[in-house]
Structure 1
Amino acid sequence: MQESATNTYKRLLGYVKDFKSAAIVAVIGMLGYSAMDATFVWLMQPFIDDGLTDRNSTVLTWAPYVVIALVIGRGTFNFLSSYCLAYVGSQVVRSLRQDLFTHMLNLPVSFHDNHSNGELISKITFDTEQVQQAITKALLVLVREGAYVVFLLVVMFSASWKLSLIFLVITPIVAVIVSVVSKRFRKISKNIQNAMGDVTRCSEQMLSGHKVIHGFNGQQQETERFARVNNINRLQRVKMDATKALSVSVIQILAASSMAVILVLISMPGMIDSITSGTFVTLISSMMLMLRPLKQLSNVNSELQRGIAAAQSIFAVLDTEIEKDTGTVVIEKAKGIIEVNNLNFTYPSVTDPVLKGLNLKIAAGEKIALVGRSGSGKSTLSNLLPRYYDIADREAITLDGEPLDTYTLKSLRQQFAIVSQQVVLFNDTIANNIMYGLETPLSESDLIEVAKKAHVWEFVKDLPEGLQTTIGEDGVMLSGGQRQRIAIARAIVKDAPILILDEATSALDTESEKLIQNALESLMRDKTAIIIAHRLSTIEQADCIYVMDKGQIIEQGTHAQLLEKDGTYAALAKMQQGEAV
């Protein structure tokens, strides 16, 4: 359930607590700035009545010094408020952005399955910027201009409380307008955030899939798709600006009407004789000067509501429960005994089960293979072992005789080295990609040794910067086979007792595959290995092969035994032999 706007802003201001000293100075600066401006208006009455009307030269002599003092004070308070508020705002947004990033990093995989990267990136970048506007610009205007309005009212009442009462008649009307407009601003702001998420998502898809787009001549299709979401974003912003302009105009008309009534009353014979020139100028000046802060206060409402809507969106993510780490046992090095007992699993976002009553046992140091058509549940099992998804029956999967959730997440995942078909590399050097996650970096000689084992050294040695070569975003500078070898080198460095190879050689040519197979055989020595493969030639030496279909094991045995059965596995083997010929 989404928090109210008031609670959201209170929670947002909770981030200010760590920087309250600077925030207090900022508020003092804002109040001082407004007080200087109001004091200048207040002094107009004695300047005119005492200085000009009564010809008091002392008042007129001091007037320039007072004005200079007010200007200096105004500038000092302005610097204090602007600098301290900017400091607090940037610190709050930094903290908020850091919390959001860290929280997203620890959210379960199922959360990321249901949210696009573009949407989440938009929250970290765009939404947090909107929050900064609510913290800095909106707060600056609310406090400074709000205080200015109050100070001007005090000046007006000190000049003539009877006439000033008329100006207060518009206050409840303005309050109603602000309340109605605030709800609309917040609604439009949410629509703008969603639209920006779509813009980010379309942009991300275009940038990451530009080769496919060019290959299939999809430029027009992507251009039209982006034009649609871009136009939706434009329409929402036009609605925001139209609402803002209408509210400002209505409030200014009300203020001007009050001023007109006061001018009519002043022009009456009974009133004109009882009011001095200084009082008249002070009243009119206060009312005229009040139009500007009233306009700014009306305008800032849109910024404030936009920030609150963005904060609600951010807090909704921050309130999402992170991965449950209920394990208490820290396992240093697992034996590698895995048992799966009557495992049933359904992904959170779908209704049909992916695994149904799955049973298998893997002994320590055993090499097993999972084969079967796409969608049979092979990769799902590899996702369940490191607990990327939780299972309903905690006893359904055990490691060394204990349910997976017995172990802490960190120590459990330390037991698995996963090399998947989709290699993820970071925009960093080859060396740092190989050593990713290591607490203690390898020495240069050890790193080269690992690179040689994974056959990375063959293409790295000729590069000008060698292992220190930056490979670009997601390894764009490398071929598919080279990226796969780096992933294998990363697994060698981790040296986990359990190895999961999910189509690990799929991106390699025949020559590279043979080289990598030798490296993998060395890597799998004395380790429990789970090999997921479509290419049966890569699993012929496995201790046991499990053939899966629709989430169940339909055949199991060695390569020779399964060929003798002349079942599904044998049919797959014959099909691949035919393709090879």
Structure 2
Amino acid sequence: MAGPGGRMMAGGGPGQRSIDFKGSSKRLIARFRPERATICALLACVVLSVGLSVIGPKILGRATDLVFAGIVGRDMPEGATKEQVLESMRERGDGEVADMLRGTDFTPGEGIDFTAVGDVLLFALGVFLVAGLLMAVATRLVNRAVNHTMFRMREDVQTKLSRLPLSYFDKRQRGEVLSRATNDIDNIGQTLQQSMGQLINSLLTIIGVLAMMFYVSWILALVALVTVPLSFVVATRVGKRSQPHFVQQWRSTGTLNAHIEEMYTGHTLVKVFGRQEESAKRFAEENEALYEAGFKAQFNSGVMQPLMFFVSNLNYVLVAVVGGLRVASGSLSIGDVQAFIQYSRQFSMPLTQVASMANLVQSGVASAERVFELLDAEEQEADASPAERPDEPRGRVALERVSFRYDPEKPLIEDLSLAVEPGHTVAIVGPTGAGKTTLVNLLMRFYEVSGGRITLDGVDIARMSRDELRSGIGMVLQDTWLFGGTIAENIAYGAAREVTREEIEEAARAAHADRFIRTLPDGYDTVIDDDGSGVSAGEKQLITIARAFLSDPVILVLDEATSSVDTRTEVLIQKAMAQLAHGRTSFVIAHRLSTIRDADTILVMENGSIVEQGAHTELLAADGAYARLYKAQFAQAVAEVD
């Protein structure tokens, strides 16, 4: 639905599930437990700083009284006492003035005692200076505590991401997950750094100033407190109104980041298929949703500060009027009223500061809940303890009545049994969605079987640690993955130990990657980014195959590993793979059936079941599903030649 000016409203609207502000705030505060010593030192500094700050106005009030007493006393007859002067004023009919001067400690005939005033001002200056130094130390301690806490939170998120099952990432956009691990944590850190010390200082200031206000005049203190309920109502009403918008703001930020990440990663495809306009339109919609949520969040929370200023000024007027009446009656000195007006400002200022930080705090807590949702996500099942391992890794794999389903209501693999002897090559073929890659994911324990079991050399892989299991499996996927670094570093990534340059080059030669690597400007030291810019898709595939060679696995998994290379290179790689697979159990997923003719066993899968298995010639002779697939590809090849 279009809003004013044709702007699109935020998707889903801010009325979606509101944040658990109280619960998330408690969890965020609880993460500071390891910083107890720093927090205690911080509180000590803030308490001392606030204590010195709140007695400052009382000291300055004393200086004001000294100046006023000097001005009054110098015009009085010298030698008379204060009581005599006041009595004389009442006799002349100046009773009201006498009542006002009753609270002033003046000496008739004496002017301003500049020495005493100077001592008081120097003392006040020292008090404020020490208070400022203590607050500077407190700020440093806040930064220390926050940075250490954010460091641990990033570690927790990184550890959590490594423990999450593959299904978690399958159901979420990468950009949205990355936004939680980066933008949201950064926002929490900035919020805490900007608000934590100030909030503590403001709360303690409110307590300290309130105590001094009652000490100076309990009547004026009660007058000042009249506006507190009004401040509370303003803060709570505005806070409840703006919080859902902050939740939507960070949700929209994650969605927008996910779209940008996808469009940047696949920018070539976007251009190839002419989807720039559609992508730009989608970006505009997501950006508009973020604009709407951010504007509403900032606008609603921004109303709080002017409202609190209004309440503060109302408080100032009430205190000034009642204080003036108290001075006129002689119940308070001018210095005490001056100090009290300062206290009323000091009392209102922290309330205003807390209110002005409300949008910052709400934004930070909204981000904290998103991070906590990630940290609370269901993890993959823990490794068995104690973990089992084969006595001697040989590579015998057995699937015993294995069942699996992504959706509990939709079976994918049912009652699948298979035995693969060490050193054998098993090719898995079948139409898209038949369960070929799923079978490999189960073997790698990226997913857990729903029923039955898979054994490696007689040991149930569910009883093995994932690290132990995967360390013995080399995997080359259709989708290549490289990281920012040199080509040599990318190849060496496959080894669990330190490897020499000679070993890296030997693996590259085995994968037939050595020739093209040496044609690059810096050879093996050529730096590539995570997209593999500067090398073709086929060359990236050769690098990943070299990585698999270097890992020296017991089991080799090739998922369409040669799909991105030319026919001549594919033949060379097949020979290299045959050499690599010698003595190792190999699982090869292939669509081009010509590449798996020499496999010991070919499995034909349909709808999660093995419908045929046997050697290439046997399956052709059987004239079943495999023969139909083979003939279809052969006919397609002839058609392409024609």
1:27 aligns with 2:30: no
Structure 1 residue runs of 5 or longer lacking an equivalent are: none
Decide whether the 8 Å contact of 1:186 with 1:308 is kept in 2: no
Decide whether the 8 Å contact of 1:325 with 1:409 is kept in 2: no
1:460 aligns with 2:517: yes
Task: Please report the TM-score for the alignment, with normalisation by the length of structure 2.
Answer: 0.85
Partner of 2:569: 512
More displaced 10-residue stretch of structure 1: 510-519 or 352-361: 352-361
**SS in structure 2 of the partner of residue 473 of structure 1:** coil
Cα distance, 1:533 vs structure 2: 0.4
How many residues are treated as equivalent by the alignment? 579
1:330 aligns with 2:396: no
Cα distance, 1:107 vs structure 2: 0.8
Counterpart of 1:379 in structure 2: which amino acid?
Answer: T
Partner of 1:373: 431
Cα distance, 1:438 vs structure 2: 3.0
User: Which deviations, in whole Å up to 9, do the C-alpha atoms of 1:215-262 show, x marking residues without a partner?
Assistant: 122222111111111121122222222222322333333333333333
User: Which deviations, in whole Å up to 9, do the C-alpha atoms of 1:296-318 show, x marking residues without a partner?
Assistant: 11011222222222222212221
More displaced 10-residue stretch of structure 1: 145-154 or 471-480: 145-154
Decide whether the 8 Å contact of 2:428 with 2:604 is kept in 1: yes
Counterpart of 1:38 in structure 2: which amino acid?
Answer: V
**SS in structure 2 of the partner of residue 500 of structure 1:** strand
Structure 1 residue corresponding to 2:30, chosen from 2, 14, 19: 14
Structure 2 residue corresponding to 1:345, chosen from 382, 386, 404: 404
Structure 2 residue corresponding to 1:211, chosen from 268, 272, 284: 268
Counterpart of 1:353 in structure 2: which amino acid?
Answer: P
Counterpart of 2:423 in structure 1: which amino acid?
Answer: G
User: Which deviations, in whole Å up to 9, do the C-alpha atoms of 1:371-419 show, x marking residues without a partner?
Assistant: 11111110110100011001122x3322223322111111111221111
Counterpart of 1:519 in structure 2: which amino acid?
Answer: A
1:389 aligns with 2:405: no
Cα distance, 1:269 vs structure 2: 8.2
Task: Please report the TM-score for the alignment, with normalisation by the length of structure 1.
Answer: 0.94
**How far apart, CA to CA, are the structure 2 residues paired with 1:302 and 1:30?**
24
Distance change in 2, residues 1:268/1:155 (3 Å): same
Distance change in 2, residues 1:285/1:325 (3 Å): closer
Counterpart of 1:363 in structure 2: which amino acid?
Answer: E
Cα distance, 1:31 vs structure 2: 3.2
User: Which deviations, in whole Å up to 9, do the C-alpha atoms of 1:35-72 show, x marking residues without a partner?
Assistant: 34323212122111124324333321213422431343
Partner of 2:57: 41
1:470 aligns with 2:527: yes
Q: CA RMSD in A?
A: 2.3
**SS in structure 1 of the partner of residue 395 of structure 2:** coil
Counterpart of 2:576 in structure 1: which amino acid?
Answer: A
Decide whether the 8 Å contact of 2:18 with 2:243 is kept in 1: no
Report 1:367-446 matches (<5 A). Answer: 367-393=425-451, 395-436=452-493, 438-446=495-503
Distance change in 2, residues 1:253/1:152 (3 Å): same
Distance change in 2, residues 1:437/1:546 (3 Å): closer
Decide whether the 8 Å contact of 2:402 with 2:417 is kept in 1: yes
Decide whether the 8 Å contact of 1:196 with 1:233 is kept in 2: yes
Structure 1 residue corresponding to 2:185, chosen from 118, 121, 128: 128
**How far apart, CA to CA, are the structure 2 residues paired with 1:356 and 1:2?**
42
1:364 aligns with 2:422: yes
**How far apart, CA to CA, are the structure 2 residues paired with 1:252 and 1:68?**
28
Structure 2 residue corresponding to 1:199, chosen from 252, 256, 274: 256
Partner of 1:496: 553
Cα distance, 1:526 vs structure 2: 0.6
Decide whether the 8 Å contact of 2:461 with 2:469 is kept in 1: yes
Cα distance, 1:520 vs structure 2: 0.5
1:168 aligns with 2:188: no
Counterpart of 2:343 in structure 1: which amino acid?
Answer: S
More displaced 10-residue stretch of structure 1: 400-409 or 325-334: 325-334
Structure whose alpha-carbon radius of gyration is higher: 2
**SS in structure 1 of the partner of residue 288 of structure 2:** helix
Distance change in 2, residues 1:125/1:326 (3 Å): closer
Residue identity over aligned pairs, in percent, reads 29
1:156 aligns with 2:216: no
Report 1:84-95 matches (<5 A). Answer: 84-95=141-152
Distance change in 2, residues 1:189/1:77 (3 Å): same
Decide whether the 8 Å contact of 1:252 with 1:294 is kept in 2: no
Decide whether the 8 Å contact of 2:395 with 2:584 is kept in 1: yes
User: Which deviations, in whole Å up to 9, do the C-alpha atoms of 1:108-145 show, x marking residues without a partner?
Assistant: 11111122111111111111122213422221221112
Decide whether the 8 Å contact of 2:517 with 2:523 is kept in 1: yes
User: Which deviations, in whole Å up to 9, do the C-alpha atoms of 1:427-476 show, x marking residues without a partner?
Assistant: 12212211215342211222211111111111112223222222211323
Partner of 2:579: 522
Counterpart of 2:445 in structure 1: which amino acid?
Answer: R
Distance change in 2, residues 1:235/1:33 (3 Å): farther
Counterpart of 2:410 in structure 1: which amino acid?
Answer: D
Distance change in 2, residues 1:101/1:332 (3 Å): farther
Decide whether the 8 Å contact of 1:481 with 1:512 is kept in 2: no
Cα distance, 1:271 vs structure 2: 5.2
**SS in structure 1 of the partner of residue 398 of structure 2:** strand
Cα distance, 1:206 vs structure 2: 1.8
Cα distance, 1:506 vs structure 2: 0.5
**How far apart, CA to CA, are the structure 1 residues paired with 2:180 and 2:139?**
26
Partner of 1:56: 113
**How far apart, CA to CA, are the structure 2 residues paired with 1:104 and 1:512?**
37
Partner of 1:244: 301
Distance change in 2, residues 1:245/1:464 (3 Å): closer
**SS in structure 2 of the partner of residue 359 of structure 1:** strand
**How far apart, CA to CA, are the structure 1 residues paired with 2:371 and 2:473?**
33
Structure 1 residue corresponding to 2:630, chosen from 557, 573, 580: 573
Runs (4 or more) in structure 1 with deviation over 6 Å come to none
Counterpart of 2:629 in structure 1: which amino acid?
Answer: L
Counterpart of 2:398 in structure 1: which amino acid?
Answer: E
Partner of 1:560: 617
**How far apart, CA to CA, are the structure 2 residues paired with 1:380 and 1:203?**
29
Decide whether the 8 Å contact of 2:31 with 2:149 is kept in 1: yes
**SS in structure 1 of the partner of residue 507 of structure 2:** helix
Decide whether the 8 Å contact of 1:138 with 1:301 is kept in 2: no
Distance change in 2, residues 1:524/1:121 (3 Å): same
More displaced 10-residue stretch of structure 1: 15-24 or 448-457: 15-24
Cα distance, 1:566 vs structure 2: 1.8
Distance change in 2, residues 1:451/1:230 (3 Å): same
**SS in structure 1 of the partner of residue 348 of structure 2:** helix
Decide whether the 8 Å contact of 1:133 with 1:304 is kept in 2: no
More displaced 10-residue stretch of structure 1: 162-171 or 109-118: 162-171
Cα distance, 1:505 vs structure 2: 0.6
**How far apart, CA to CA, are the structure 2 residues paired with 1:2 and 1:401?**
51
**SS in structure 1 of the partner of residue 611 of structure 2:** strand
More displaced 10-residue stretch of structure 1: 109-118 or 7-16: 7-16
Decide whether the 8 Å contact of 1:370 with 1:547 is kept in 2: yes
**How far apart, CA to CA, are the structure 2 residues paired with 1:410 and 1:427?**
24
Counterpart of 2:310 in structure 1: which amino acid?
Answer: I
Decide whether the 8 Å contact of 1:332 with 1:411 is kept in 2: no
Decide whether the 8 Å contact of 1:248 with 1:298 is kept in 2: yes
**How far apart, CA to CA, are the structure 1 residues paired with 2:392 and 2:367?**
45
